[in-house]
C-alpha cells in the first residue's frame, strides 16, 4: 500500500524541486537564527545599561519583554534548524534502508531460483547415472557420458553462481543491519532532543508567567 502511495507521479515531480526547497528553508532558518542572535546581544546590552541607569519601570519592562522575545526566537530558530537537518538525515537513511531491503528481497529470490535449478540438474544427473549402469550399449554410453560431462559443468557453473549470489546476499544483509542500527541511534537522538526542547519550552513558559505576574 505504501509503495503504491509513494509511486504517485506527484512525488517524482516534487523530487525535482526538493533540494532547492531544502536549501531555501536552510538559508531562511540561518537568517532567522543570526537575526535572533543579533537581537539578543542588542537587548542584553541595553538591558544592562538601562538597569544601571535606574530608568523608569515601564521602559525597563519594555526592554525585558524585547529581550525575552529575542531569546525565544533564538531558541525556536536554532532548534528548528537543527531538527530540519535531523529530518533530512532521517529521510536519507530511510530511503537507503528501503533500497537495501528491496535488493535483499531480489537477492533472496535469485538464490532460491539458483538452488532449485541446481537441485533439478542434480536429479537429472542421477537419472542419467542410473540409465548408464542399466544399459551396455557403447554408443549410448558415450553420448550419455558427454551429456553427463555437460551436466557436471553446468552444475559447477550453477554452484559458482550460487556461491556468488550467497555472498552478495550476506553483504546486503549486513548493510541492512547497519542501516537499521544507525536509524535506531538517530531515533533515540531525536527523542532526546525533543525532551530537551520540551524542557526548554516549559522553562520559557515559566519565565513568561513570572513576567506576566
3-state secondary structure of 73: helix
DSSP per position, 130-165: HHHHH---HHHHHHHHHHHHHHHHHHHHHHHHHHHH
* pTM > 0.75: no
**How many percent of the chain have pLDDT more than 90?**
2
Residue 139 clears pLDDT 60, i.e. is over it:
no
Question: Whose CA is closest to 115, among 163, 151, 69, 67?
Answer: 163
Rounded distance, CA 81 to CA 25, Å? 9
Q: What's the pLDDT score for residue 144?
A: 66
Lowest average pLDDT, out of 97-106, 172-181, 198-207, goes to: 198-207
Q: What's the pLDDT score for residue 31?
A: 92
Whether 28 contacts 84, CB under 8 Å: no
Domain range summary for the chain, segments of one domain joined by +: 10-127+160-212
Rounded distance, CA 120 to CA 122, Å? 5
Contacts of 141 (CB under 8 A, 6+ apart): 132, 135
Question: Whose CA is closest to 119, among 111, 109, 129?
Answer: 111
Q: What's the pLDDT score for residue 50?
A: 55
pLDDT 10s digits, 20-58: 888 888 899 899 999 989 888 888 776 656 554 555 667
- Work out the mean pLDDT of the chain and round it to a whole number: 77
Q: What's the pLDDT score for residue 34?
A: 92
- 138-212 and 57-134 helices cross at what angle (nearest 10)? 170
Lowest average pLDDT, out of 46-55, 82-91, 192-201, goes to: 46-55
- Kindly state the DSSP code that residue 56 receives in the 8-state scheme: -
Burial of 1 (0-12, 13-18, 19+ CB in 10 A): exposed
Output the nine-digit C-alpha cell for 160: 559458482
Q: What's the pLDDT score for residue 142?
A: 62
The residue ranking higher by pLDDT, 64 or 11, is: 64
Amino acid at each position: 500500500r505504501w509503495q503504491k502511495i509513494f509511486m504517485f507521479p506527484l512525488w517524482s515531480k516534487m523530487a525535482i524541486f526538493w533540494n532547492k526547497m531544502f536549501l531555501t528553508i536552510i538559508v531562511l532558518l540561518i537568517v532567522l537564527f543570526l537575526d535572533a542572535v543579533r537581537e539578543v546581544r542588542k537587548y542584553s546590552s541595553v538591558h544592562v545599561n538601562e538597569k544601571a541607569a535606574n530608568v523608569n519601570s515601564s521602559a525597563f519592562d519594555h526592554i525585558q519583554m524585547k529581550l525575552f522575545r529575542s531569546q525565544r526566537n533564538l531558541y525556536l530558530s536554532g532548534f528548528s534548524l537543527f531538527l530540519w537537518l535531523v529530518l533530512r538525515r532521517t529521510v536519507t537513511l530511510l530511503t537507503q534502508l528501503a533500497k537495501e531491503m528491496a535488493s535483499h528481497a531480489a537477492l533472496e529470490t535469485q538464490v532460491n531460483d539458483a538452488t532449485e535449478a541446481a537441485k533439478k540438474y542434480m536429479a537429472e544427473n542421477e537419472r542419467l547415472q542410473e540409465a548408464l549402469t542399466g544399459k551396455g550399449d557403447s554408443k549410448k554410453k558415450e553420448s550419455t557420458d558427454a551429456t553427463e560431462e555437460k551436466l557436471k559443468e553446468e552444475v559447477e557453473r550453477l554452484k559458482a553462481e550460487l556461491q556468488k549470489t550467497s555472498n552478495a546476499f550476506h553483504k546486503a544483509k549486513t548493510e541492512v543491519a547497519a542501516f537499521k542500527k544507525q536509524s535506531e541511534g538517530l531515533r533515540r537522538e531525536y527523542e532526546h532532543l525533543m525532551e530537551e526542547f520540551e524542557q526548554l519550552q516549559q522553562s520559557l513558559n515559566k519565565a513568561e508567567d513570572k513576567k506576566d505576574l
